[in-house]
Amino acid sequence: MASTITKIEIFRVPPRWLFVRVETQDGTVGWGEGTLEGHTEAIEGAYQDIIRRFIGWDADRIQDIWQHCYRARFYRGGPVLMSATSGLDIALWDIKGKRLGVPVWQLLGGKVRDRLKVYGWIGGDKPSAVVEGAKGRKEQGFTAVKMNGTEAIGWIDSPEQLQETVSRVRDVRALGLDVGVDFHGRVHKGMAKQLARLLEPLQPLFIEEPLLATQPLEIADLSKQRLYSRSDFRPYLEARAIDIAQPDVAHCGGISELHRIASLTETYDVALAPHCPLGPIALAACIQVDIAAPNCTFRICILRAPFADMHYNEGADLLTYLVDPSVFAIKGGYVEALQGPGLGIEINESLVREYAERYSGEKPWINAVWTGEDGSLREW
């Protein structure tokens, strides 16, 4: 059968991404991304099982393969297994679109919009870079940006820490840009309440991750969080705890699950803004769903720029592995719907193989570990 899966390969590439390449008997190649930041080796281990299981399967049976990934073992869900499933699922949708000669959004019911509003990341960990980063994003054509709210902060800390955040947001807003503020799960409840209240007069687009996902009832007092699958989102939706859902396509189960989450959140009148500080494959997969999802609002777009790189993207960035980077061009704050078949991007396979080989002996990326002045661990 022409669509039989004959090869599944994984590539660890800089800065911190895990690409998945799936090939079928007729030579069609699909690309996916199963990145799980800081847990690369765990994902690589999960793929050994996936490779053993699905060689010889029909690539057209995307939902059947997804169900077997998720349900055919006693333990299911969680960031590692869902991220591994994501990479395979995205690659299978890429293959199906290429075999049929249409973009994935056509297979999801067609367009509900022609272009997608995007915002650019400007950091915020180090306050000095925020305003310059915002100016650079504006020059690139962005009308909205997102920034971290705080550096490391104590469980209960000095009010001065919060005033610095407010000042940075005010400075960026003064440039005429809309601003989303990411608390990054760093701020505990007592401080998060105060900071949200102080930011309210500045009318941020949203507050992201005010607390960690382990605090659903406390988040219901505040609002918002990033999770993995439909079952993870359910208690937050039922508690009316979120206004914007931010599933990661490379963590939640791929295009299949992201599309289902879009429908689920629409039922609760919750907006969808898939979270994607990852690679070009994950971004393209997000855009495919965003173009077909009625409740989609924003898309994060991390573009290479000397003034405001994602601070942990070292050695490569969003556009590095693309044959044609213009597919992600920003025009008036928007990215046009991708028109090519499958994911609508072309991956430079020779460069992926070169970088994977070059960095194969290096340690995978891990996040920073922060401690306070008293030596206790702080949330990163």
Question: pLDDT per residue over 222-250, tens digit each?
Answer: 444 456 678 787 777 877 777 788 889 99
- 188 vs 351 pLDDT, higher one: 351
Spatial contact of 98 and 342, defined as CB atoms under 8 Å apart: yes
Average pLDDT estimate for 122-131: 71
HEC secondary structure over the chain: CCCEEEEEEEEEECCCEEEEEEEECCCCEEEEECCCCCCHHHHHHHHHHHHHHHCCCECCCHHHHHHHHHHCCCCCCHHHHHHHHHHHHHHHHHHHHHHHCCEHHHHCCCCCCCEEEEEEECCCCCHHHHHHHHHHHHHHCCCEEEEECCCCCCCCCCHHHHHHHHHHHHHHHCCCCEEEEECCCCCCHHHHHHHHHHHHHHCCCCEECCCCCCCHHHHHHHCCECCCCHHHHHHHHHCCCCCEECCECCCCCHHHHHHHHHHHHHHCCCEECCECCCCHHHHHHHHHHHHHCCCECCEECCCCCCCCCCCCCCCCCCCCCECCHHHHCCECCEEECCCCCECCCCECHHHHHHHHHHCCCCCCCCCCCEECCCCCEECC
Q: Tell me the CATH number for domain 106-343.
A: 3.20.20.120
pLDDT: which is higher, 28 or 186? 28
What is the length of the chain? 380
Largest Cα span, the chain: 65
Q: Cβ of 238: how many Cβ atoms within 10 Å?
A: 11
172 vs 46: CA distance, rounded Å: 42
Q: For 156-160, 315-319, 331-335, which range has the lowest pLDDT when averaged over its residues?
A: 156-160
End-to-end CA distance of the chain: 48
Set 68, 259, 275, 311: catalytic member: 275
Instruction: Tell whether the model's pLDDT for residue 308 goes beyond 50.
Output: no
Residue pair 67/254 in contact by the 8 Å Cβ criterion: no
pLDDT value at residue 312: 61
Task: Report whether 8 contacts 44 (CB < 8 A).
Answer: no
Q: Where are the domains of the chain?
A: 106-343
Assigned token pair, 132: 């310059």
Per the CB < 8 A criterion, the answer to whether 280 and 321 are in contact is yes
Residue 245 vs residue 57, higher pLDDT: 57
Q: Please give the average per-residue pLDDT across 309-319, as a whole number.
A: 72
* pLDDT of 196: 77
Q: Given 39, 184, 188, 251, which residue is catalytic?
A: 184
Confidence (pTM) = 0.82
311 is an active site residue: no
188 annotated active-site? no
